[in-house]
Structure 1
Amino acid sequence: MSGRSVHTPVPLPTERLRVGMTLPFTLLDAQGRVLLAKGQRIEDELQLRLLRERRQVYVPFEESELALKVWMNGLLELDRRGAAIKELERHVQLDEGAEGAAEPLRGTLPEQCAEVAARLRRLLASVEQGALAREQGAARFERLWRDLEQLTAGDVAADGSTLVLTYRACTSPADYSVLHALQCAVLALRVAPLLRLPPPELRALVLATATMNVAMLRLQDVLAQQRTAPSTIQRAQIDAHAEAGARLLQAAGVTDALWLDAVRLHHAPLPPGVALAQRPAQERLAHIIQVLDRYTASMSPRASRPGRSAKEAARTAVLFRTGGAQDEVGLALVQLLGIYPPGTFVRLHKGELALVLRRGDKAGTPVAAVVVNRAGEPLGTPKLVNTARPEYTVDDAVPGSAVRARINLDEMVNLLAYSRTPAAGM
């Protein structure tokens, strides 16, 4: 699936609106006219009463939390229940205070990834709009940290979340800002042990990675869908977003200097060819973020260009600003994920197309699921293969944006889990 379907606006019950709330989406009337723009506040009881006097208000599907969850899961929840899309307005989250800080993620792994992405989008939007009180910030960021830990707890969860997020980010520019942040944060949490980061640096790295682009959240989504080069105004916002992001995070209660400095420096020119251990801590984290950012962004398509293949992205990471030497962060990524990370596609030497599930015994021999046969026909049941075997060797990487096969992510995560059992013979 290469893009998001066009949907009608999502109805929103007006009783869920309240005075003082900053809208995380645009409110429309029945004719599609804007009542309140995204980021505006409901200022007083009169404004609230006028909204509630309307029979119904709507949220553009693309701005609703539902849109992100639908896209992340790959299939509408209603597809499993036979429900109508008009029934799904209950999934629009408004009350941030209702988020239980200690409640674990539930559901399948794709559903958990969708939930964390939706939570992250609400969190980043609150920070960007200056709507997050300092006392709320600590609890919300702690919840993000725990969510990321749960998504990466164990080999299957870690590879599975990487698979889901990478597949989504590599097959469409939809919801790029949040998916890119979450994909990078998961990889940061996974690669940090290979880089021997102490716990304080690990936490600062992961949270900085998740929040690095908070000052250009909406602009990122616009640019992903824009076919032209950034305008002068857009370029100015891009150039200023690192410093602006650190200021927004400080206003939201972030006091960790390493976290803030890593956000400030995540696009700064750093001395090339310096070992991580020899860099100051804030520069060390910024360099890691820069490699992760470039690695993941290069595989993600834009309206203006297709995504690069995983093999090209790995080469970019390993040779990141080194003048021909090998970057230790890039090498750690290949050690962790292989040349072909989970969630990317490969063409096998006999012509089949396969989705990578996890790294194999060697960097170039992933465990994968064949989804299209050599005749170009989608398989009803994906076939689990070990590309270390001669009959299934990898011929090349295939950019996700070039693939039109429909992928059931629940099925792929289940195959991934099975591949780690003795019965699979992998």
Structure 2
Amino acid sequence: MMEPVRCPSRDSPDANAACAQHPTSPMYPSKRQITLADIPLGEPLPFSIYDVEGRVLLRKGVVVSMIEQVESLILRKAVMGTTTPPAAPSAAQRAGAPMRAAPEASPVYEQVGSLILNLKHSYATALKTPDQIDLPSRIMQFAARLQALCTTDTDSTLAAPHLDYVNPYLIVHQVMGAVLTELIARRQGLGEEQRLIFVCAALTRGIGLAAVQGEIEQCDGPLPEALKKAVHAHPLQSGAILRRAGVTDDCWLDSVEHYHERLDGSGYPQRIAGQSIGLGARMLAIADTYSAMTKPRPYRGKAWVTQTALRDIYLQKDAGLDGELIQNMIREIGIFPPGSIVRLKSGELAVIKQRTHKAADAVAYTVYDQRGMPLLEPMRRETSNPAYEIVGMVPFTDCRAAAVTIKRLWLK
């Protein structure tokens, strides 16, 4: 169980020291029966799996990609272990043949997609059969993985959730907010272990909405009063769920319960203000606001394009949201974040692949030609060329016919 720490306000001299007091990613317990939540789909197994008689079924490092495989293992009452007996050398190895190189890691874009699927699965397990998952440990593993992906390829890590319109909004929204939280905290100068707990908070901030998310998404207008109350209560509900799951870290819980508070006291659920709002909650507030603005929801109408969302957030600086942290986010993601769809002077629609702060510096790839026809292969355009300068932005929902072409940019 994690030792709780107090989560001080951003200006507290103890902020960095207190928030660093949490454990690193835990080890799996040895030899216990596996559950649905134990196996990360699309990622190398962090342990080996054995049958009830101790025979190896799957060795550590094997990738399981289908939920049916997991269910089959559970039916066989398979168990997990942290260690695996060394495999006997093959005939080829005994004969001195060269060993096959280890498979290359999948593109970061795909790894983020796998993480989204695993978070979805973990949410479902935690809410339906909480005794079958160690939620704090699982979330910390996801958070550490997300940090590593941000370090490896920030552009792909940003683009993947931004362009994901297949998985449930609530889950993608958590991941997008977690990526932004990591980048804001990194720009703020926090160390990796300090940032980890805030990324954990971002990944779980909306778990209290999961029970009513289906109803919310069915609304095609203003939310009815009962759902409004559920939305306003969800930060505390999320905190309660996390406490029952075993989360005891004050920074984690404080960030989740107060990320909808605002500096001017206009937020919810407790209408606290100013320095009473901790650093984690302030960072999550900005990340959550940007992610929500750039994703469409029936009861809120069309999604905003990234530039409009950034401008609106900037206008809230030091009134509702922390101005310094807003600047940190903009410096990290640019005014044209990866995955932004832009209209070129040529009449083509293009997608931005890399973060940039100036339109003329953007690396854009056309996905629709001048006639509005989607292209099979994206074509690079230099926006410094007057013929291809950026003249506007377009929401991704207007470009879904080119979704496969757009995704291909990050899979090469």
TM-score, normalised to structure 1, is 0.67
The aligned counterpart of 1:127 is 126
The aligned counterpart of 1:283 is 278
Contact 2:350/2:365, CA 8 A, preserved across alignment: yes
1:235-246 map, 5 Å? 235-246=228-239
Contact 1:352/1:370, CA 8 A, preserved across alignment: yes
User: Alpha-carbon deviations, 1:51-84, whole Å to 9, x = none?
Assistant: xxxxxxxxxxxxxx99x99xxxxxxxxxxxxxxx
2:147 equivalent among 146, 149, 155: 149
The aligned counterpart of 1:159 is 155
The aligned counterpart of 2:250 is 257
Contact 1:349/1:395, CA 8 A, preserved across alignment: yes
Contact 1:224/1:303, CA 8 A, preserved across alignment: yes
CA distance in 2, matches of 1:181, 1:285: 15
- Quickly say closer, same or farther: Cα 1:323–1:263, change in 2 above 3 A: closer
Letter in 2 for 1:407: A
Percent of counterpart pairs with the same letter? 25
2:342 equivalent among 343, 346, 351: 346
Q: Are 1:397 and 2:396 matched, yes or no?
A: no
Contact 2:366/2:379, CA 8 A, preserved across alignment: yes
**Helix, strand or coil: the match of 2:151?**
coil
Q: Which runs of 5+ in 2 are unaligned?
A: 1-32, 44-64, 84-102, 266-273
The aligned counterpart of 1:113 is 112
Contact 1:317/1:327, CA 8 A, preserved across alignment: no
Contact 2:294/2:304, CA 8 A, preserved across alignment: yes
1:167-206 map, 5 Å? 167-168=163-164, 172=165, 175-206=168-199
1:364-375 map, 5 Å? 365-375=361-371
Contact 1:372/1:378, CA 8 A, preserved across alignment: yes
Larger helix proportion, structure 1 or 2? 1
Contact 1:339/1:364, CA 8 A, preserved across alignment: no
Contact 1:349/1:394, CA 8 A, preserved across alignment: yes
User: Alpha-carbon deviations, 1:270-291, whole Å to 9, x = none?
Assistant: 348xxxxxx7595222111111
**Helix, strand or coil: the match of 1:339?**
coil
Contact 1:184/1:296, CA 8 A, preserved across alignment: yes
Letter in 2 for 1:300: K
How far residue 221 of structure 1 moved from its aligned partner, in angstroms, is: 4.3
CA distance in 1, matches of 2:283, 2:67: 40
CA distance in 2, matches of 1:220, 1:187: 22
Contact 2:259/2:285, CA 8 A, preserved across alignment: yes
- Quickly say closer, same or farther: Cα 1:338–1:388, change in 2 above 3 A: farther
1:90 equivalent among 68, 92, 101: 68
CA distance in 1, matches of 2:382, 2:263: 40
- Quickly say closer, same or farther: Cα 1:234–1:241, change in 2 above 3 A: same
How far residue 234 of structure 1 moved from its aligned partner, in angstroms, is: 1.5
User: Alpha-carbon deviations, 1:294-349, whole Å to 9, x = none?
Assistant: 11111111124111111111112222254599822222222122212111211112
CA distance in 2, matches of 1:325, 1:143: 29
User: Alpha-carbon deviations, 1:160-193, whole Å to 9, x = none?
Assistant: 121121011xxx4851010000111112112222
Letter in 2 for 1:241: H
Greater gyration radius: 2
**Helix, strand or coil: the match of 2:303?**
coil
Greater CA deviation, 243-252 or 145-154?
145-154
- Quickly say closer, same or farther: Cα 1:350–1:227, change in 2 above 3 A: same
Letter in 2 for 1:90: E
Contact 1:310/1:398, CA 8 A, preserved across alignment: no
Greater CA deviation, 222-231 or 206-215?
222-231
The aligned counterpart of 1:411 is 408
How far residue 404 of structure 1 moved from its aligned partner, in angstroms, is: 3.5
Contact 2:139/2:203, CA 8 A, preserved across alignment: no
Letter in 2 for 1:237: A
How far residue 368 of structure 1 moved from its aligned partner, in angstroms, is: 1.8
CA distance in 1, matches of 2:138, 2:147: 14
The aligned counterpart of 1:424 is none
1:303 equivalent among 298, 301, 323: 298
Contact 1:348/1:395, CA 8 A, preserved across alignment: yes
The aligned counterpart of 1:267 is 260
- Quickly say closer, same or farther: Cα 1:198–1:174, change in 2 above 3 A: closer
Greater CA deviation, 348-357 or 194-203?
194-203
Contact 1:317/1:329, CA 8 A, preserved across alignment: no
How far residue 105 of structure 1 moved from its aligned partner, in angstroms, is: 11
Contact 1:350/1:374, CA 8 A, preserved across alignment: yes
CA distance in 2, matches of 1:323, 1:150: 33
The aligned counterpart of 2:354 is 358
Report how many residues are paired: 327
Contact 1:151/1:158, CA 8 A, preserved across alignment: yes
Contact 2:336/2:356, CA 8 A, preserved across alignment: no
CA distance in 2, matches of 1:100, 1:387: 53
Q: Are 1:388 and 2:366 matched, yes or no?
A: no
- Quickly say closer, same or farther: Cα 1:94–1:165, change in 2 above 3 A: farther
Q: Are 1:228 and 2:221 matched, yes or no?
A: yes
- Quickly say closer, same or farther: Cα 1:326–1:151, change in 2 above 3 A: closer
**Helix, strand or coil: the match of 1:397?**
strand
How far residue 123 of structure 1 moved from its aligned partner, in angstroms, is: 2.0
User: Alpha-carbon deviations, 1:29-52, whole Å to 9, x = none?
Assistant: xxxxxxxxxxxxxxxxxxxxxxxx
Letter in 1 for 2:250: A
Contact 2:337/2:356, CA 8 A, preserved across alignment: no
Contact 1:208/1:260, CA 8 A, preserved across alignment: yes
Contact 2:341/2:350, CA 8 A, preserved across alignment: yes
CA distance in 1, matches of 2:378, 2:175: 27
